[in-house]
Structure 1
Amino acid sequence: MSSYSRDDLDIPKATIFGGHYDEDESYSIPRPKGMKDWLIFYTLSGEGFIRTPSGEKRCGTGQIGLLKSGVPHEYGTVAGQRWNFVWAHFQKLSETDYLPDEEALIHALPEGHMRERVYRDFQNLLHDSRDRSAFWHTLCENSLRDIILLIAQRLEKKIDSRIEHALQFLTRSMKNEIRIDDLARYAGLSASRFSHLFKQEIGESVVEHLNRMRLRQAALLMEHMGRTATEASLDVGFNNYNHFATLFRKTYGLSPRGFVKHAKE
């Protein structure tokens, strides 16, 4: 693909648009005057680079790049590589203020659910920006906000990527029986090392964290969805009601059935 400058294109100022490219090492986009909008891109495989006055950064598989408007730059495929990536141009959103004030930000996502979620956001954005049905612009902005806030959330509280990977598994599998050995294997650690690192990063043991998630979800189901105490305990993965009731009373100061009665009143 030949180099070009968007400054010569007749594109409405507030337009959101994007694409999916898979480019060899000849791909390069120089913009010595910068852009009037922002650029976000996500590498699916290979490696790209972005050069700004502050230096060069590279964006590999599973990494997101974000370039501010008005910054002189050049970006393209790293020599000897292919760069398979999705991208979008957009006007500044207020959510970008949560991110570090850098000319170009590169952020790595852990494997698993987080990468799948970001890729799905890009797919939705590309679809809505091309389809342009009712509310397309707002839908595109919402996809961008989701990506930007996920980055901001991860920067706010950085934790070991292996533990983050395990937390994603816990969240998705909360209702199922979960063994420490399985979680440790999922994170690529021994059971003892995983348990120690989990408590160091999260501040509580795996069992404590899992129970807290389950109890919180059970309380929400009873309060807002009309589930009985027994139904809620089963919904979140407690097979022993007495154990659930003991933990619930310890956490909320009420029995589960007392909590339901209080919520109704």
Structure 2
Amino acid sequence: MRPHEIDFSTFEGGIFTDLMPYQYGREVCAPAHAFGPARRSHYLFHYILSGSGVFTTISDEGERIDYPLHAHEGFLIFPTQITTYIADMADPWEYIWIEFDGVQVKSVLDNLGVSTVHPVYRAHDEAAREDMAASMRALLDERDASPFVLVADTYRFIDGFARSCTPYRAAQTGKLHGFYVDEALVYIDENYVADIGVEDIARHIGLNRSYFGKVFKEAMGVSPQQFLIGYRMEKAAELLKLSALSVAEVGRAVGYPNQLHFSRAFKNVHGVSPRAWRHAHAGSVSSGAEITPVSST
């Protein structure tokens, strides 16, 4: 590929709730080529094959944060986050990307500590990193394959990403604390549909509630209760977008047998009622790489 050259495809294989790609591509950028500011509808990951550039985000406090990045590093854009990225003038980057989403994504990222505050990808396992990159290339090479093959490539991508990504919690907590938090995250993922609370999670991992809350917040940046509610509401948002379940059925599916309590919790997290959220996101499943650009690409 030659500068400025781009190769990409969109996924036309229907809806896969747990994990699915939306678009995937590869680009050799010209010097100082910029994209953004722009907002995405789904998660978008860029892996840098060669060269360098700068990824820029805006913090919740309105502060601009620049991340200079190089070959074998990457950056993850979160849904609705406004970002800009620009290729280096002297050594412009070439990257490969995948836009993806699904109900399993947030738990994977939460477990790694990857967030809008920590969006940079750096690998601690070279072999797993190469597995991830190979899966991203395969999506382009196999673009005419069946949807099941392409979704399988996406699962291999997320597996390689998770195995290779340097967890942000690693420097923040000891091994024992990390074990407790990992056990709590697994328990939440497996039981969020039931009527569980923080006391149940603490009891499951063998800690008293107070100490568990301290360990969890140090590692994850939020209290266990905040995380549990947010986790359930993210699952609910995906079900509202990707299924035809009624609001009451969605509530029961994420551990809220009372529809009123569910609607109130959902609005506290997302700012709108479940019905309003579903209406606002109607049609987004099949829209491919939906973006809201503020400047030209």
Q: TM-score, normalised by structure 2?
A: 0.43
Q: TM-score, normalised by structure 1?
A: 0.48
Give the structure, 1 or 2, with the largest relative contact order (CA under 8 Å, sep 6 or more).
2
Q: Which has the larger Rg? A: 1
